[in-house]
Structure 1
Amino acid sequence: MQSRGVALREAIISSPALPFSEGLKPKPHICKLNKPWVRTIMASAVSTANSEQVAVKAQEPPPLQVSRRLEKFKTTIFTQMSILAVKHGAVNLGQGFPNFDGPEFVKEAAIKAIREGKNQYARGYGVPELNSAVAARFKKDTGLTVDPEKEVTVTSGCTEAIAATMLGLINPGDEVIIFSPFYDSYQATLSMSDAKIKTVTLRPPDFAVPEKELREVFSENTRAILINTPHNPTGKMFSQKELELIASLCIENDALAFTDEVYDKLAFEAEHISMASLPGMYERTVTMNSLGKTFSLTGWKIGWAIAPPHLSWGVRQAHSYLTFSTSTPMQWASVAALQAPDSYYEELLKDYRAKKNILVDGLKTVGFKVYDSPGTYFVVVDHTPFGFDNDIAFCEHLIEKVGVVAIPTSVFYVDPNEGKNLVRFTFAKDEDTLKQAIERMKANLKR
């Protein structure tokens, strides 16, 4: 930055307002400070210098600002890993989205809806035909009959259904139980609700629900428990016995159950069981689901929450002020998706089972300890055979030196140390991508 003296000198020499011929320098005795034109130049020079100082200050970014509810949260791990994947040209087996497209008949339905002019705001809680399609699918899956007008709320993805449920039904200070590891939006959304989070840890090798710990964490102050089955990130499916235990504790303590069931159609080893279908549970359960995982259309963000009217009211109140309504043409296309024949789901499961086998067999060959994954499109492994102290260090090495992306699981725990030995891979990729990742690890990952 120039000093004010230098700025003044340059301004005097270059100023077009000088009362002498262009190119000639003034004589010293001419530059009297009381001359009006000198005062003008001096003021201009000082202003220029001050402007330069302001410009320098402007280059310094202001401190980041965020509410206290969210100040402990950073950029999501999925965004961080995807950025690194692009930077290092790594095969991305981290973020859980397919690298292949959804079915043509669903995409054509969206195009048809757009061309037919179905492009304005939809009804706040959903296009009536979609509400009915969701209710019909739920009855087929669970045997439960629900009122599509009063008990189904269409949301912008399951993530918004989760947020609307928390914000609409949880009061500041309410105790909510979640299982660690957990999908990262759970903790953030509960923090926005000012809830008191209580955790129960699921541990390898089978990530079974620890009955004693769960009984101890439940109390008369428990407002709700949040369950994800099939479970991200572990791939665990909650058994009938585990769900019955949770249901009994909810009834005993007059607590609600919030269930995230977005992977319900990706159950490889057992039938998916919806918590709402257990005796005495529908009246106290919000069941959340979405279209994206099942139809490989994650970018559409079509989700829903199913709950009895007295719980749907709170969900809808929050939803009204979060997004109000969800993409209209995509809702119409979702009707076509949910009317797909059983053969679609059979082929989906067959295809993902083949992808899973490629990844699991490859990871075992590379040298990982691989934990069973009966549901979802994720696999959790123990990375410690490769000598790294924690999952973050391992994942950084895997990206930078091997060219493959995985997700460190420590971000899915309240206490990161509980997840430091584990990383998560996804097999929601085409077979060539999975094979390429395995070959890179075979060649470049040494024990």
Structure 2
Amino acid sequence: MPNPSPFSRPIGSHRVDGMRESVIREMTREAHKHGAINLSQGIPDEDETPATVKQAAKDAIDTSSQYTITWGLPELRDAVAGRYEEWKGVRYDPETEVTVTTGTSEAVVATLLALCDPGDGVIYFEPTYESYIPAAQFAGGRLMPLDITDGLEIDPDALREAATDASILILNHPHNPTGNVFTRDELELVAAVAAAEDLIVVTDEIYEHIVYTDDYVSPVEIDGLADRTVVCTGLSKTYSVTGWRVGFALAPEPLSAELRKVHDYTSICAPTPFQKAGVEALSLPEDYYSALSASYERRRDLLYDGLQNVGLDPVKPDGAYYMLTRYPGAEDDTEFALRLIREAGVAVVPGSSFYTEGSAEWVRFTFSRNEATIEEALGRLNTNRFW
């Protein structure tokens, strides 16, 4: 039982009023509690991290354990700017337009706190990565979800109508939790609407190197969009270092200058040894990235076929490493997820956690784990099937 509060007044600010803890992290805790295979949170296996990158971090602990410049290690910002110009064709000034953050999540939160005033409309596409909702709430933004569940496509009319009353649009691409990759036409629509309504666009591109289609285009490659966009990305997914918490915010100087104010007084700087290792990570050869996508594509297909074989209904993604999966029956998605953990020994995330409110008729699996682990999870699902 929790201890009674010593306060005679209500506690908790309006910023956290009605806010729930992360369901994704809750499912991980449930997995640990019940000895389940964790296919809920996007955590790769330890041996996924390139050996040279790990060694660079170990070496840096002996030489670089103090603060860096608040905006990040200069050589890392140089590397980010250089590689992003090669990958996306957009040049960012490492001195004024690249900020190293404590993970991509901090980049998103710092951006919204710096650029969103109380009452400003914040558009995002549902199902949505769960952290965007509290990030907008922290900033006092007005939540404006647009549902893309059916068809995973942006409705042009709905976007245009919402944008007339909004200030910021959040675009996760490739998309978590669905693995959807938006088309060039959809990105050009976003660019046109953003220009017409003077929107700031915040992109979360953390899965930019985990794609399984030749049609992937980064939003900032669309004419004019980079000029009004804050790109949030980082090391976590591409190099399998989710616990290192090194992210990047890339933006034109006027936007960058504002988000740096929040970053400066919250996290000061990302962990220095891991920033050092980031320089090594960004020097990896081009074939590393093609091998990364190919590896995840094999795991995607393994999980997709396996889920079908045990009587579930997965949707094959074009990017990221998550798989939206529908299940038979009328059971509540949270109850179904908890039963999977307790009865089948496999942890997933209930779909409702990716919506502002309401329930969902699906759960999310991750295939960020190695093939042996995925196969073991599928074996458990087959043996302990209750649906």
Aligned to 2:5: 62
**What letter matches 2:52 in structure 1?**
F
The match for 1:55 is: none
- Deviation track 1:149-198 (CA, whole Å, cap 9, x = no partner) reads 11101000000000110011111111110111111111101101001111
Distance 1:232 1:270 in 2: 19
Q: Which residue of 1 aligns with 2:373?
A: 433
Contact 1:100 1:429 in 2 (8 A): no
Find the aligned partners of 1:317 and 1:125 in 2 and give their Cα distance. 10
Determine the structure 2 residue equivalent to 1:263. Answer: 207
Write the letter of the residue equivalent to 1:335: V
Rounded Cα–Cα distance in structure 2 between residues aligned with 1:89 and 1:66: 34
Unaligned runs of 5+ in 2: none
- The alignment status of 1:217 with 2:162, answered yes or no, reads yes
- The CA deviation at 1:445 is 1.4
The match for 2:176 among 232, 247, 254 is 232
**C-alpha distance in 1, partners of 2:25/2:211?**
27
Give the Cα–Cα distance (whole angstroms) in 1 for the partners of residues 113 and 215 of structure 2: 31
Which structure has the highest helix share of the two?
Answer: 1
Correspondence 1:98 to 2:38? no
Contact in 1 for aligned 2:122/2:142 (Cα 8 Å):
yes
- Give the distance between the partners of 1:281 and 1:87, measured in 2 at CA: 45
Q: Aligned match of 2:232 in 288, 293, 310?
A: 288
Cα 1:91–1:388, aligned 2, differ >3 Å: closer, same or farther?
farther
Counterparts of 1:159 and 1:246, CA distance in 2: 22
* Coordinate RMSD, CA, aligned: 1.5
Once the two structures are TM-superposed, the CA of residue 271 in structure 1 deviates from its matched residue by 4.4
Partner of 2:299: 355
Pairing 1:405–2:347 present: yes
Paired position in structure 2 for 1:107: 54
The answer on whether the counterparts of 2:183 and 2:215 sit within 8 Å (CA) in structure 1 is: no
Report the secondary structure of 2:122's partner residue: strand
7, 19, 31: which one aligns with 1:85: 31
Identity level (%): 37
Tell me if 1:414 matches 2:356: yes
Distance 1:173 1:353 in 2: 42
Question: Alpha carbons of 1:59 and 1:127: their partners in 2 closer, same or farther (altered >3 Å)?
Answer: closer
Taking structure 2 as the reference length, the TM-score comes to 0.96
Supply the AA of the counterpart residue of 1:437. A
Letter in 1 for 2:141: A
Matched residues in 1 for 2:3 and 2:129: separation? 35
What does the per-residue CA deviation read over 1:92-151, in whole Å, with 9 as the maximum and x for residues that have no partner? Answer: 100111123311100111122222x21111000011100011001111111112211111
- Contact kept in structure 1, 2:304 and 2:316, CA below 8 Å: no
Matched with 1:75 is 21
Partner of 1:378: 322
Change (3 A) 1:147 1:298: same
Measured against aligned partners, the alpha-carbon deviations of 1:293-335 in whole angstroms (never above 9, x if no partner) come to 0111100000011001000011101101110111111111100
Partner of 2:142: 196
Give 3-state SS (helix, strand or coil) of 1:176's partner. strand
| One-letter code aligned to 2:118 | P
Q: Which has the larger displacement, 147-156 or 66-75?
A: 66-75
1:446 deviates by: 3.5
Deviation at 1:411, TM superposition (A): 1.2
Deviation at 1:372, TM superposition (A): 2.3
> Against the structure 1 CA distance between its residues 313 and 425, is the aligned structure 2 distance closer, same or farther, given a 3 Å change threshold?
same
Offset of 1:376 from its aligned partner? 0.2
Q: Could you state the TM-score of these two structures normalised by the residue count of structure 1?
A: 0.83
The equivalent residue for 1:154 is: 100
Determine the C-alpha separation between the residues in 2 that align with 1:371 and 1:272: 18
Q: What letter is aligned with 1:257?
A: V
Higher relative contact order (CA 8 A, sep 6+): 2
State how 1:312-331 maps to structure 2 within 5 Å: 312-331=256-275
Give distance in 1, aligned partners of 2:97 and 2:3.
51
Per-residue deviation, 1:77: 0.7
Question: How far did residue 87 of structure 1 move?
Answer: 1.8
Q: Is the 8 A contact 2:174 2:320 kept in 1?
A: yes
